[in-house]
Structure 1
Amino acid sequence: MSKMPRADVTPRPMELVWPSKAGLGSYVSALNRGWARDESRPESGSEERALIEADAALFLASLVDRDAKGPPVTMPDGSQVPRLPGYKCWMWDGEFCGSIDLRWQPGTEALPAYCLGHIGYSVVPWKQRRGYATQALGAMLKRAAGEGLRWVEVTTSPDNFASQKVIEANGGVLVESFITSPSQGSLTKFRYRIDL
Structure 2
Amino acid sequence: MPLSLAFPNHALLASYQQALSRGWAGHEQDPDTASRMLAACRAAPDTYLLHFTHCPLPAPGMGPDADNSEPCLPHCHFWISNGDYCGELSLRWPLPGDNLPADCPGHLAWSVVPWQRGHGYACQAVRLLLPRIAHLGLPWLDMAMATRNVASWKTAEHLGATRIATYQTGAEHGHVSAYRYRLMR
Q: Is 1:132 aligned with 2:121?
A: yes
Q: Is 1:33 aligned with 2:22?
A: yes
Q: Is 1:55 aligned with 2:36?
A: no
Match of 1:150 among 139, 155, 159: 139
Q: Could you tell which deviates more after superposition, 114-123 or 145-154?
A: 145-154
- Alignment length (residue pairs): 175
CA distance in 1, matches of 2:184, 2:112: 23
Larger Rg: 1
CA distance in 2, matches of 1:40, 1:34: 10
The alpha-carbon deviation at position 178 of structure 1 amounts to 0.4
Calculate percent identity across the aligned residue pairs.
35
Match of 1:170 among 137, 159, 165: 159
Q: Which residue of 1 aligns with 2:90?
A: 101
Structure 2 residue runs without a partner (length 5+): 57-63
> Secondary structure, in 3 states, of the residue corresponding to 1:176?
strand
- Cα RMSD for the two superposed structures: 2.2
Match of 1:182 among 164, 171, 174: 171
Please tell me whether the aligned partners of residues 100 and 122 of structure 1 are also in contact (alpha carbons under 8 angstroms): yes
Q: Which residue of 2 aligns with 1:79?
A: none
> Secondary structure, in 3 states, of the residue corresponding to 1:165?
helix
CA distance in 2, matches of 1:167, 1:38: 17
Amino acid at match of 2:116: K
Q: Could you tell which deviates more after superposition, 47-56 or 176-185?
A: 47-56
Q: Deviations over 1:2-26 (max 9, x none)?
A: xxxxxxxxxx211112211121011
Q: Deviations over 1:47-96 (max 9, x none)?
A: 3213212321111122122359699xxxxxxxxxx752111111111111
> Secondary structure, in 3 states, of the residue corresponding to 1:135?
helix
